[in-house]
Amino acid sequence: MAQMDTKTAEKISKALSDPTRLKILSEIKKKHDWLYCVDLYDNINLAQPSICHHLKQLTETSIILPEKEGRNIKYTMNNEVIDDFIGFLQGLKK
Amino acid sequence: MAQMDTKTAEKISKALSDPTRLKILSEIKKKHDWLYCVDLYDNINLAQPSICHHLKQLTETSIILPEKEGRNIKYTMNNEVIDDFIGFLQGLKK
DNA sequence: TTTATCCATTGAAATATTTCTATCTTTTTG
DNA sequence: CAAAAAGATAGAAATATTTCAATGGATAAA
């Protein structure tokens, strides 16, 4: 497993520190690991650019991965990054 | 292990999303799991109230635990909270 | 008991984040 | 090709966070 540096852990923590972004992740899980952007508009009461902004923070940290499909984008969880982040957290303990 | 709710996970993420606070945690680890507030003034180039502010966010989320010893305060890592947070992160994956 | 030390609080300035409306780009459909 | 649909971007307003200087409260030392 990759050793995650502090700066990356900080960015991942920041990406996870918002209710909308955690909601997006739980929606992805609920839909069995992937969804289209448009799936979120029904469940999240924010304007489209706001959701887009949150998705950007999740993709920039690679917590989720975007995959272009025509004019849609399919987002999937990136379990590797979560595992690396967990490794970092384990390292904080004695 | 306790099931962590989303709101708590959000607060813990926020507490971890700052370089100074991650530095404090790494200092605690370096000193073998506990240190006094004053130990941080040497290693962190911020004014005392700023460090105090960061410590507050870490204690409010119980990531570290304060223990009064005369006029000093001894801070220790709270591994339980880290483990619960890790449990939450595992739950984000499929 | 006076002084020093350790930490917390207050209030203000600087910076960052969140959210929106309006607009743009890309891709599909008629 | 023209219109529609899915996302992205720009810029601005509202809010939150980070930082500091000044000061306060509690405990220890002289």
Distance from CA of A22 to the nearest CA of B (A): 7
Distance CA B59, CA B21 (A): 11
pLDDT tens digits, B35-83 = 999 899 989 999 999 999 999 999 999 999 999 999 999 999 999 999 9
- The secondary structure of residue A61, as a DSSP letter, is T
Does A94 sit within 8 Å of B32, measured CB to CB? yes
Q: Which of B14, B17, B93 lies nearest to residue A82, judging by beta carbons?
A: B93
Check whether residue B71 has its CB closer than 7 Å to nucleic acid strand D.
Answer: yes
B24 CB neighbour count, 10 Å cutoff: 25
Can you give the pLDDT of all 94 residues of chain A as single tens digits? 778 999 999 999 999 999 999 999 999 999 987 899 889 998 999 999 999 999 999 999 999 999 999 999 999 999 999 999 999 999 999 7
Output the pTM of the full model: 0.93
- Tell me which chain A residue has its CA closest to the CA of residue B80: A93
Q: What angle do CA A69, A74, A79 make, to 5 degrees?
A: 135
